[in-house]
Amino acid sequence: MTPDDLLDHYRTRSCAPQWRGFMRALCDELEHGLDEEDRARLMARLGERFAGDHPLPEVPTLDALQTAANAVWAPIEWGRAEFEEMEDRVLIRHFASPLAAAGGAGRPWLAAFLEGVYRAWFRAAGTASVLDVACTHADANHVDSFVLSRVS
């Protein structure tokens, strides 16, 4: 079994069987009823709502913010996050999210949920209004990637 096969196995188990059919049907309906931009906008709003329901404590550093985010993800088995500070941006990587397992692969708009979560958490942490979070890669090798950077 390859490492990717092993990750696929664990991710499919991350969505409880009683929810898998419902989630796939919901995603199918969203794909038939909304265009991709509207689906992504809806998922981002859901993510922002989730972040509001799971606020992070005030913390002094990016590492502490990462630790606080992972303290939310760990007990609900939603993978883990890594933040990497660059000169002009912050890279955000979310590993092993159950989104693809729950909604089905090939639906990059699902990552907009995490985009909304991280957008809300970074705004609540006090990032400048000229900064925003955007998805750069959805479910690439079991990683969703985002960047916090200046809005163009």
Structure-model confidence comparison of residues 12 and 116, the more confident one = 116
Q: What is the pLDDT of residue 131?
A: 96
User: Cβ atoms within 10 A of the Cβ of 14, count?
Assistant: 17
Copy the structure tokens of residue 16.
């409880």
Q: What is the pLDDT of residue 16?
A: 72
- As a whole-number percent, the residues of the chain with pLDDT over 90 amount to 59
- For the chain, the domain total comes to 1
| Closest alpha carbon to 134 in 16, 31, 18, 47 | 47
Q: What is the 3-state secondary structure of 41-90?
A: HHHHHHHHHHHHHCCCCCCCCHHHHHHHHHHHHHHHCCCEEEEEECCCEE
Q: Is 141 left (phi over 0), alpha (psi -120 to 50) or beta?
A: left
- CA dist., res. 100 & res. 139, Å (int): 7
Q: Which domain holds residue 70?
A: 3-150
For residue 1, is pLDDT > 80?
Answer: no
Q: Which residues of 52-88 form beta strands (DSSP E)?
A: 80-85
Q: How many residues does the chain have?
A: 152
What would the pLDDT profile of 45-84 be if each residue is shown by its tens digit? 999 999 999 999 999 999 999 999 999 999 998 989 999 9
- CA dist., res. 30 & res. 27, Å (int): 5
Q: What is the CATH number of the domain that holds 44?
A: 3.30.1380.20
- CA dist., res. 79 & res. 76, Å (int): 9
pLDDT confidence band for 11 (50 / 70 / 90): low
